[in-house]
Every structure is written in C-alpha cells, then in structure tokens.
Structure 1
C-alpha cells in the first residue's frame, strides 16, 4: 500500500480508495451514512496530494489522522444502526462560542465548561468519538490514554503550537474536529494550502454539516448517560460564516460571538496556521500564509454578517468583546446564561473563578506574532474587514488589543 523511501521510511498514501478500504477493514463496516460522503473524501485527499506541501513525517501523521476520522465515522454509523435510541437524544440548545481566532473563544469555552451543569466537549472524545472495541465501563476509557499520548507527542514536536493553542486531553476543545468527520468543512483545510478543497467547501451548503454535528453530539451524550438537563458547550472560530446553519440545526442555541480588533487577531491567527501547517508540511512561509488566511476569514466573516442581516436582531446571538472576556468573564457568562435561560449557580461561579486562577495568560508560553512577519499591512487588514468594523465600531477603541 505505501511506497518506501530510499531510507526505508514509508511515505504517506493519500489514495482515497486505499484509505477507505483500510478504514472499512478496521471498522468491519462499509456504511459511512451518506451516499455522497466518499466523494468528499476523494476531493479532500486529491487536494492534499496535489496542492499541499506535505513533509514525509507530517504526511504519515496526516494519514493516521484521516484513518482515525474514517474509522470513527464508520463506528458511529454502526452504533446508530444498533442503538436507534441515540437519534432521540435532545441536543437542540448548545451554547456555541464563535468569533474569529484569537478573540477569547478558547478561554470562554473552557471556563464555561467547568460548570457542573453543562456537557464539556473534552479533547479525548473529539479525537475518538466512538468507543474502542473491547472497552468496558469498569475500566478507565482507553480513549483518554490515547489522547494523552497524542498531546504529549504534539508538545514534543511543536512547543510553539502548545503555546498558541494548547490541546489538553481532558479539557474541552473545538467541535471543528467533529466537523472534520464530514470531509466537507473548513476544519479540514487547516493542514496546509489546499485551495480547491477550500473553494469547494465555501460553495456548498453547510447546513448538512451541522446536522451531522448534532448527530455526533447525540452519540456522545448517549454514551455519557443522556442529557440530564445539560446543554453542550461548543466552540470553533470556523463557525463565523455559518450562523444560519448553526441555528437551523440547533434552534434553541445561544451563540456567544466574540469580537476583537482584526489588526490584532489576523497576525496572531496567521502565526497559528503557520505553526499548524508546519506540523504536516515542509518549510512554511508566513508571507504566503498571511494573504491566504486574510482572504479566507474576511470572506467568512462577511458571509456571517450577511446571515445576521437576514436573521435580524436575533436574541439568540450575544455579542461579546475580548476586553470584557479578559476583565470581567463572570459578567460575560452571566449575560450568556441570561439569554440561554440558565441560572448562574454558586457552584458554577466558584468553578469559573477557580479555572481562571489556574490558567493565567501565557501559561504554556507566549505566542509571538506581527503583521509585518506575515506579509500584511494594517491597511490591508482594515480594508478586508470594513463591513465588520463598521458594524462593531468598538473593535477599534482602546483596550481591544
């Protein structure tokens, strides 16, 4: 299946038929749940093969990641067929933290998730949504150890990534890892420069992806003993252009939309993508990453603003500013809970305060960046985000850095 290099190291194999066959062989099932799904896989892997500058070691890691996604999708579909009651789980009212990268979304999600009355989307469950064969309730879930090993390996490979966005096995992280299971979402475009895949995704209706996300959340909720009056806390910057699909799939959701000066966040998230591309690729030029990311995420923001215009003054969307997340996170959470119809209990507030005390800024190292280093100017960023800044003028006021 895999070719060999002269040094004896196998090279990654991104042939879609090979990857699908390998996943089917491990899962013991060939039902991916959607007739056109394998076309998504083919389009994604073709873009990886022909456009992304993948390194030998990074390619093997990406092949392993793709294999895991396919196997988990097959196992989920098999469990859904065996346990039809999964489909009856109610996940209609998540708290969804959205906003551009580097706007305080991670802090807000992780703090919210310490409330004992919500469901946290821990990284170990994101990495493997399906229980492993042979796992028993009497023993620690083996998915936790797998996630810890994965995170430890990542920390050794790229301390810079952990400083920019630390993955922690038993803490919450982005539901974009679940949307990656569709092979039809921008989450999959984070591994390198794959413009044909990104354009394909941007041209397609995203509502089916969020319906699929709802199904995965039902699956995870069922594994954890059912709803028990616990809403999910979700988060991903990739949601900025999918406000209508989110509210269509989750009609009782509350979206906490985080805002920060784009001249600050753009170089920060360009640096993040530079590091992430570097996990899988050869040398990455930040001056190439910068214009690509600016075009992509300013377009997604504009798409989201257009959707908000159609929705009108929808109370399900709560606008949050970065400086408030930093200075007054409890007040921010109180606003979100008021909209969601939740009571901020003393137990939850104590948990929030404890999380903040235990997680000072730059706990895992400082994330350094500049506009100049990514080949952009302040004027370019401001021009790309004109509609956003006009709608939220506080973005350019003192304190929003």
Structure 2
C-alpha cells in the first residue's frame, strides 16, 4: 500500500489539495499499479511515464473535486441527449468528430481542456485560453517522441478528442493498455470492471466544462463506449448514437500498430502479439455487446455511417445525421465543416502503413471472426 500512498501523496503535494471525492477510483488504481509493476517490463523512461501519468490523473481529480466543493451549483448543470460516436476505432470516427466540432451550436471536448479542465473554461476566453499554447508544446513533444503518431492520429491542441483521459480520472480506461503491457488490468477492464461510476465521473467533468462555457449540446466520441454500452446507457439514458463501420482487416491491425508506437518509448521489449490479441478481443467484445444492446429495443437510437462513402463525400451523410437528430444543418455549420475538410486532407502527414502479420493477425481470420458484425451491417470488405 505504500506504493499507492506515495502516489496519492505526490498528487496532494503538487496541488495542495486532499479531497479525491468518492472511492470509486481506488480499485482501478490498485489493479493498474499491480499490473504495471508486475507485468509491464518498463524501462526507466516507462517508469517515469507510468508514475507520472498516475500522479497527473490524481491531480486532475483533486482539482475537479475542489471546484465542486467551492461551487456545488455546478452539479445542477444538465447533460441532455448527447450524441455519442462509437463503433470500432480507425473507422473514420475522428474525422466525423472533427466535422461535428465545427458547428458553433454544439459542444465538444477539445484536447487542451481534456488535458487541463481546471479552472473550467469560459466562453469569453475559450479560443484564447493559455492552455491551448501549453497543449501545443505537449503535442510537439509527443510528435518528437513518436513521430508516426501524426500519420495515425493527426490532431491539434484544439481538435475534438475522446474522453478516454477523463475516464482515466477514475482509473478505468483503455488509455493505460494503449501505452503499457498490462494483461491482468486489461482482463479486469474487459470482463469484470463496473463502468457505471466511471461514466458518472465523465458526466461530472462534462458539467464542469459546460458550467461557464455553453452550449450544452454535446458531441462525444469514444470507441470504448461500444464495449460498455449498458453502463453508458444507465448514466446517459437519453443519448443518441452514431456508429461508424469499416472492414475489420483495416481496423484491428491499425489499432495494434498505434498501440505499438505508444508502447515503444516505455519498454525495451514491446509485445506485438499481445497488442494484436488485446485489440482483437476489444473489438469482438465491443461488437457483440453493441449488437445485443441494439437488439434490446434501442435500434431507433442509432445512426450508421460507412467509411468509404463518408470519406469520399461526408456532406450528404452529415445532412442525414442532422435530420436524424431533428436539428438544423445550418449553412454556417456546413461552411465551417467544408473549410476544415479542405485544410485537413486524409493522409496529410503521410499514409499509415502496417502489416497485420506482425501482430499475429490474419485478414482472412479476422473477417471470419467478425462476419457476424460485417454481414449484419453490410460492411464492404477490401481496401478503402
């Protein structure tokens, strides 16, 4: 326990705060540390990264709780009918999220505020907040450490981002296995963890971000939603969903390669076969649970998007999505989206090349394993 106590004390010392809120984060933290210390084979840089990330997340949690303690009225904020983008990763969901984020009538979580939500942003300074420049520097360092990341996940400090890091405030998140070899933690996360408290904490952070910086029509995106859809639904019962689709042979190996790029700085012995296995498991469980949820009377809450036609021309699909939501697709929103697309062409930083065989993944076997999913949603198989 001294290991955990030392990390908690480091966060307290760095912030001068001591209230972590409820104890829902402790099981995930304990399992993460046990798995990281026992299985991750960290090098010196990896150990600093592992401990540093834990302390950083604990600090953010302390800061969130401090704002709530001083301003309990934050909890009166309502998160109403968010649109949640989900499905397998690497299916065009990032581009979709970025396009959605160009609509000035909606709210997305952007990289800089996800990394530093406190003090909560304000409308008057949202576009000039000094944390944007701070995030610029952090992203430059990321690109220097892992230069292929720009090909895999082109992003800026103001780009919309997933709430994976926010889930990390509760230490129940896939961000950890994306960077560290932690099989026992991943096993617990995929099969035994209770995600409802984590999604409630995500909502807590959304309320904080919305408090002084409306609008409150949220557009959220996270592939993890698919795996934990029933817990997500308990916390956001009025959510609508947009599910993106693509050939799994262009998805699972790509994610494994992304994880490999993130693992490399932290260990001298990255395990490519485990990266393939854990991502195939994540995708399989996610699609099985998602289909069961849709079949349980929730089909009308979903809007489906296929990768290739959306990449070719997203705007007919965007118009239909707004119609599904019952919202106006304004000329201003469309113009801003078109400008973003022209300035952010696909493969802007080079094409992401990878070989699934490096990760023990076979195109034929993946397609057979996921046939229940691709047949159901008529997902085209082949290069796109």
Say if 2:252 and 2:283, in contact at 8 Å, map to a contact too: no
Give the distance between the partners of 2:185 and 2:288, measured in 1 at CA: 20
Give the distance between the partners of 1:175 and 1:343, measured in 2 at CA: 26
1:378 aligns to 2:363 (yes or no):
yes
**Structure 1 residue 368: deviation in Å?**
0.5
Count of aligned positions: 379
Name the structure 2 match of 1:349. Answer: 334
**Structure 1 residue 175: deviation in Å?**
1.2
Give the distance between the partners of 1:252 and 1:299, measured in 2 at CA: 23
1:369 aligns to 2:369 (yes or no):
no
Paired residues for 1:247-396 under 5 Å:
247-313=233-299, 315-392=300-377, 394-396=378-380
Name the structure 2 match of 1:156. Answer: 144
> Which consecutive unaligned segments of at least 5 residues does structure 1 have?
1-13
Say if 1:254 and 1:336, in contact at 8 Å, map to a contact too: no
Say if 1:316 and 1:339, in contact at 8 Å, map to a contact too: no
TM (norm. structure 1) is 0.88
Cα pair distance change 1:139/1:252, threshold 3 Å: closer
1:105 aligns to 2:93 (yes or no):
yes
**Structure 2 counterpart of 1:180, from 168, 176, 180:** 168
SS of the equivalent of 1:256 reads: strand
Query: Could you list the per-position Cα deviations for residues 234-272 of structure 1 after superposition, in whole angstroms to 9, with x for gaps in the alignment?
Result: 111122212233333223322111000111111111111
Give the distance between the partners of 1:138 and 1:378, measured in 2 at CA: 45
**Structure 1 residue 293: deviation in Å?**
1.7
Paired residues for 1:91-240 under 5 Å:
91-131=79-119, 141-202=129-190, 203-224=192-213, 227-228=214-215, 230-240=216-226
Say if 2:85 and 2:242, in contact at 8 Å, map to a contact too: yes
Give the distance between the partners of 1:223 and 1:41, measured in 2 at CA: 31
Give the distance between the partners of 1:350 and 1:138, measured in 2 at CA: 21
Give the distance between the partners of 1:194 and 1:182, measured in 2 at CA: 17
Say if 1:98 and 1:236, in contact at 8 Å, map to a contact too: yes
SS of the equivalent of 2:334 reads: helix
TM (norm. structure 2) is 0.92
Cα pair distance change 1:54/1:212, threshold 3 Å: same
Deviates more, 1:339-348 or 1:138-147: 138-147
Cα pair distance change 1:140/1:123, threshold 3 Å: same
Give the distance between the partners of 2:294 and 2:264, measured in 1 at CA: 35
1:90 aligns to 2:78 (yes or no):
yes
**Structure 1 residue 27: deviation in Å?**
2.3
Across the aligned residues of Structure 1 and Structure 2, the Cα RMSD in angstroms comes to: 2.2
Name the structure 2 match of 1:8. Answer: none
Cα pair distance change 1:254/1:139, threshold 3 Å: closer
Name the structure 1 match of 2:47. Answer: 59
**Structure 1 residue 137: deviation in Å?**
6.5
